[in-house]
Structure 1
Amino acid sequence: MSHIVRAARPGDLDAIYKMAKSTGGGFTNLPPNRPTLEAKLERAASCFARTGDEVGDEMFLFMLEDTRTGKVTGTCQVFSQVGMSWPFYSYRIGAITQHSKELGRTFRAETLSLVTDLEGSSEVGGLFLLPGERASGIGKLLARSRYLFIRNHRARFGDRLIAELRGAHDELGNSPFWDGVAGRFFGMSFAEADDFNAIHGNQFIADLMPKHPIYTAMIDENALAVMGVPHASGRAAMRMLENEGFVFDNYIDIFDGGPTMVAQTDRINTIRETRDVPVTRVGDIGENAPALLAAGRLAEFRACHAGIVEEGEGIAIDAATAAMLRVSEGDSVAVASR
């Protein structure tokens, strides 16, 4: 248990660029564009530096580091409020019911409507682990650390939390949903549109996308088959989100049709179950129980898996854990069951 989740630093540019090049495309929050990633790191630094407690248009970027080697192998992001810099678009899957008196029949047509219903939500995203590192619960540590950060800075986040999952791609990296729906209106490939969105934002969607509902009966079968379906690499992430209390509420990504998961922030399981306790002892703790721990505010935030021993109203931890979290006896830590 040597991995720590910590705030990103400017020196992480090479590591995060390496990860961005390993995503295989369609990963909007982690584009393989060095200047864009450098700007992300700078923005995150300014957000970590702000001390106010009101909700703002902020992005917090975290890195997963192996403390034994110093190697960075994963990353994740938290957005305090989406839709502030530019509209946050989704497709909502709905239906229109019509009745013909002459035919004596009622027709129910499924539709896709371009909406901004989720504006103002907080968002967790950008979670990525390098291939070969997805074992031993490390991905779960990375994912759940975001909820601990939100809990420990609750005033800076909204009451609704969303997570967009990458949609299904074919073996060539193309998006059947894009090719069957949005791509018909833009004259560019999925990769081109996704890269443009990651760097410049999605205002071009508002400029060019039809504003009226699209009847799904007019969409080709390949696109229909992947609506609301996560990328193969994101199925485990979807299960983790569901275990935390997220649900699929018929919102999908406008680019690749991936599902948008929605939850009430204070009902997230990790947030509800976490408690603040003092460290009563640092040293040899012998037989212990596994836990998820976090300490520190803003740029000093750190989270890890570690063993603990309950001692009265506090906990005992070993010296390695105390060093990773940068805590001493008497300091408070946030604790959730692993």
Structure 2
Amino acid sequence: MRAATLDDLQPLYEMAKLTGGGFTNLPPDRNSLSRKLERSDAAYARAGDEIVPETFVLVLENVETGQVRGTCQVFTAVGQNFPFYSYRITTLTQHSQELDRIVTAEMLSLTNDLGGCSEVGGLFLHPGERAGGLGLLLARSRYLFIAAHRRRFGDRILAELRGIIDERGGSPFWDAIGGKFFGMSFQEADEFNAVHGNQFIADLMPKHPVYIAMLDEAAKKVIGLPHPSGRAAMRMLENEGFSFQNYVDIFDGGPTMLAETDRVKSIADAHSGELESIALEKGEKALLATGSMADFRCCYGKRELRGEGVAIDARAADVLRVSPGDTVWSVGR
């Protein structure tokens, strides 16, 4: 794992075309991806620790071939330049004395409660590489990046999971709500959001709560469910301490997962220490990382904690380009 550069546009574009839609953070649009890489480049270059809205793009590189085979993103503070909208599932309970009946109704309320949270997203692994724990490396490298630059991130982190998309590329959730008001298909709305942002949601989406009972069955069944390809990602998030707190995506109804930053397992357990040796032969399997901002690199390797210091294996040291005396972040695999 390393910081993305402007030269990574083509491989990112090729991977974006493989996502199958509904992947707002990795649109198959060269101009959008180019602008994202430019913002990421500026974020890596900025000095100072204050929290401002920034995007960091990371890529997974095969160090033997030089090919980029995966990517992920970290956002410092969502909803600062533009509102960050979600639906929150709320409950209304009413009682009728005449009927002696209590009626409980679930509703979807449009909110921007999550503004100011940091976000992990944009995770995509090339279909030809989905083995050997590379997805875990992609996901957890983001937490070591956050741990190494903690002051640049908020007190809460969210992760949006893609919702259910049917075989036609449509969204039952969007068709039941957004499609009624916008006069465009899910794919059109998703592409527009990826390129232009979601201010049009604020302009046109109804502000009153939507009663879930009034939606069709196809829409009700998918609320809060991840796309089948995202189930493993949801389990990884849960293992890190994220939980579903009744927020869903306004486009496809996919779940938004939340966690307190300092309680995310890979951040709480991260160890930072001076590298004492690069000749370790036997040790604990771990994620290892080094470097600040644009120099950040992360890989799998072996470690041995030695008080405040750490020893790692020679192969990992070569990939990370570190030598004794450098600072290495690590967390057990």
- Using the alignment, how far apart are the partners of 2:21 and 2:164 within structure 1? 11
Choose from 260, 266, 269 the match for 1:264.
260
Tell whether 2:174 aligns with 1:170. no
Aligned to 1:41: 37
Distance in structure 2 (CA, Å) of the matches to 1:164 and 1:310 = 34
How big is each residue's C-alpha offset from its partner over 1:262-313, in whole Å with a ceiling of 9 and x where there is no partner?
A: 0000000001111112211123x32232111110010001111102244454
Measure the CA separation in 1 of the matches of 2:274 and 2:328. 6
Match of 2:153 among 146, 149, 157: 157
**Structure 1: how far apart are the matches of 2:197 and 2:283?**
48
Matches within 5 A, 1:19-168: 19-168=15-164
Q: Distance in 1 between matches of 2:86 and 2:306?
A: 48
- Is 1:303 the equivalent of 2:298? yes
Deviations 1:20-53 (A, max 9, x none): 0000000000000001100010010000000110
Preserved contact between residue 243 and residue 257 of structure 2 (Cα < 8 Å): yes
Deviations 1:57-105 (A, max 9, x none): 1000000001011010000000000001210000000111112222221
Partner Cα distance (1:82, 1:113) in 2 = 19
Whether the 8 Å CA contact 2:281–2:313 is kept in 1: the answer is no
Q: Deviation at 1:189?
A: 0.3
4+ residue runs of structure 1 moved beyond 6 angstroms?
Answer: none
Q: 1:194 aligns with which of 190, 196, 201?
A: 190
CA distance in 1, matches of 2:36, 2:278: 37
Structure 2 residue runs of 5 or longer lacking an equivalent are none
SS of the counterpart of 2:127?
coil
**What percentage of residue pairs aligned between the two structures are identical?**
62
Whole-angstrom distance in 2 between the partners of 1:312 and 1:180: 57
Distance (Å, rounded) in 1 between the aligned partners of 2:328 and 2:281 = 20
Q: Which letter maps to 2:211? A: Y
Q: Secondary structure at the match of 1:11?
A: helix
Question: Aligned match of 1:226 in 222, 226, 246?
Answer: 222
Find the aligned partners of 1:97 and 1:313 in 2 and give their Cα distance.
Answer: 55
- The RMSD of aligned alpha carbons is 1.0
Aligned positions, number? 333
Give, in whole Å, the separation in 2 of the partners of 1:50 and 1:323. Answer: 27
Q: 1:287 to 1:162 in 2, by over 3 A?
A: same
The counterpart of 2:236, out of the listed 236, 240, 243, is: 240
In the aligned structure 1, how far is the partner of 2:325 from the partner of 2:185? 57
Distance, in Å, in 1 between the alignment partners of 2:308 and 2:112 is: 46
Q: Structure 1: how far apart are the matches of 2:250 and 2:211?
A: 15
Distance (whole Å) between structure 1 residues aligned to residue 131 and residue 53 of structure 2: 33
**Counterpart selection for 2:6 from 7, 10, 15:** 10
Q: 1:319 aligns with which of 291, 314, 317?
A: 314
Q: Does 1:179 align with 2:175?
A: yes
Cα deviation, residue 187, structure 1 = 0.5
Displacement of 1:54: 0.5
Are 2:318 and 1:287 equivalent residues in the alignment? no
- Greater shift after overlay, 117-126 or 168-177? 168-177
| Post-superposition offset of 1:233 | 0.5
TM-score by length of 1: 0.96
Contact 2:144–2:330 (CA<8 Å) still a contact in 1? no
Could you state the TM-score of these two structures normalised by the residue count of structure 2? 0.98
Range with greater deviation from structure 2 (250-259 or 307-316)? 307-316
